[in-house]
Amino acid sequence: MNTQKIPGAQAPSLHQLLAFTPEPGFLADRVVLVTGAADGIGRSVAAAYARHGAQTILLDWHRSGLEEAYKQFVESGWPEPVLCPVDFSSMTLAHLRDIATEVERRFGLLDGLLNNAAWAGELTPFEHYAPKTWAKVMNVNLAAPFFLTQWLMPLLRKSTDPVVVFSLHACAKAYWNGFAMAKAGQEALMQVLAREYAPDTSHPVRVIGIDPGPVMTTGRRQNYPGEKPGAHPLPDQVTGPYLFAMSAEAKAWSGRVIRDDAGDR
């Protein structure tokens, strides 16, 4: 078997990790929750986790997309996923607590959390950016991952190797407005958690950010309708860094953001 390894003396690069292939079944008996799991990167990464043996919890507002994922996982012979159809744009703190309570009831702990759900809204000139868009963008991309992670952290700390991953996006440029600010806030949260739950603390948690760069998702096509097909990788082609983050090989990289800083996004 040809398993792509990551040299321990080097910080991982996005390009290198796109080819990362872990040992088969390395996530067996691990419970991983993925947000934004009905489509795009979240769906592809959740499938990659399940293919390697993880018990997945799939969270998204899109019920039919979750049901399609469920069918795919079961028909592929992977562990049967738990579906969690919720809408972050209107979710309350009580709803987030309920998710944590249900995860604890079913599994007793959580081994991994991928904060991947995103909603950018329309790209709009600053002076025309609507308050209702701001509110939804902040709820989905900042408030929800902050408080969901907070309520799940006690369950993560019960794991022998807990991991929190954030899907990041370097988009501090014209017309991105609230989404750019929310993603910057996510990256700040990632750094805060990596320090508070550092390896030398009594309750270490590995916290890693991944910015896969431009990916041909539904959201990308909506915001960039003029891009040619094939201009960027498909979601299935960027799962390597997410697999790496959940693997034992990533233990030394808590607090890192895996990204390619070259080029426009």
Q: What pLDDT does 222 receive? A: 74
Contact between 37 and 113 under an 8 Å Cβ cutoff? The reply is no
For residues 172 and 62, give the distance between their C-alpha atoms in angstroms, rounded to a whole number.
28
Q: Strand, helix or coil at 56? A: strand
Place of tokens 């915001």: 223
Per-domain residue ranges for the chain?
24-258
Closest CA to 194 of 227, 223, 166, 214: 166
What is the domain class of 24-258 according to CATH? alpha beta
| pLDDT(6) > 60 | no
Q: How far apart are the first and last CA of the chain?
A: 35
Which residues contact residue 26 at a Cβ distance below 8 angstroms, ignoring those fewer than 6 apart?
Answer: 52, 53, 246, 247, 248
Q: What pLDDT does 9 receive? A: 42
Please give the model's pTM, rounded to 2 decimal places.
0.93
Tens of pLDDT along 191-227? 999 999 999 999 999 999 999 988 878 777 777 777 8
